[in-house]
Amino acid sequence: MSENKLRENICQFATSLFDRGITHGSTGNISVRLNDYEILVTPSGSSFGRLDPNDIVKISKSGEFSGALPPTKELPLHQAFYETRGLKSGAVVHLHSTHSVALSMLPEIDEDNVLPSYTPYSIMLLGKVKLLPFFVPGDPAMGDAIRGLAGKRSAVLLANHGPVVSGKDLEASVNAIEELEATAKLSLILKGMNVRSLNDNEISSVINKFNVDWE
C-alpha cells in the first residue's frame, strides 16, 4: 500500500474511533509500519477527529522524524512493539477509552490477563492482555516495559491510562482494540453478577482452532 493511502487510512480509522466516542479530545495515537525502516505516526497533541494526512509524521529507524509537527510523545510504546514483534506488528493503536481505563483501576483484576473470558472474540483478537503499571505519559520506560514482554503479547493495558494493541495491519489493530474496550465494558456491566464465563475446555478450543498465542 502506498504511503499516501496509509496516511489516509490512519485518518479514516481515527475519525471513526472519535466519532463513535471511543476516544476523545486529543487522546490516543496510531502508527503504521511503512517499510522495514520507517513508520508513520500521528502527531503530538492531535485530535483523532481532526487529523490531516499531511500532518502524519514519518519516523526513521534511528528515530529521526520528518514533518511539520512532532510525533506523539508515546512513540516509545510504538517503537517497542515493532522492535519486539517484528513482522507480526504492522500497526499500533493506543487509546484512552473509558471502560478500559476504568478496568485498569480495579484492584482485583488479574494483572497477567485483565480481560475475563466472556466471548471467543476477545481471545481470538487479543490473546492475554497484560496490565502494566502506571507511567507518566511519554516516559520512555513504557517502551522498556513492552520490551520486557519479549514480543509475547499483542495487547497491554496501561494502569490509569489506557490500552495499547499491535496487530498485523491497521484494520486488525483497530478491530482488536475495539474488542478490548467492548470486553472491558462487559466486565464492568456484569461486575458482581453470577456470570457464566467460557470454561477451560471452551477457551482451549478457541485457542487451538484459531492458533492464538496464549502465554
Burial of 46 (0-12, 13-18, 19+ CB in 10 A): buried
Q: Which of 74, 178, 179, 181 is catalytic?
A: 74
Instruction: Give yes or no: 181 in active site.
Output: no
CA distance 157 to 132: 6
Those residues whose C-beta lies under 8 Å from the C-beta of residue 9, and which sit 6 or more positions away, are: 1, 32, 170
Distance separating alpha carbons of residues 166 and 70, to the nearest angstrom:
22
Candidate list 3, 121, 179, 181, residue with the active-site label: 121
202 assigned to active site: no
Q: Which residues are catalytic?
A: 74, 121
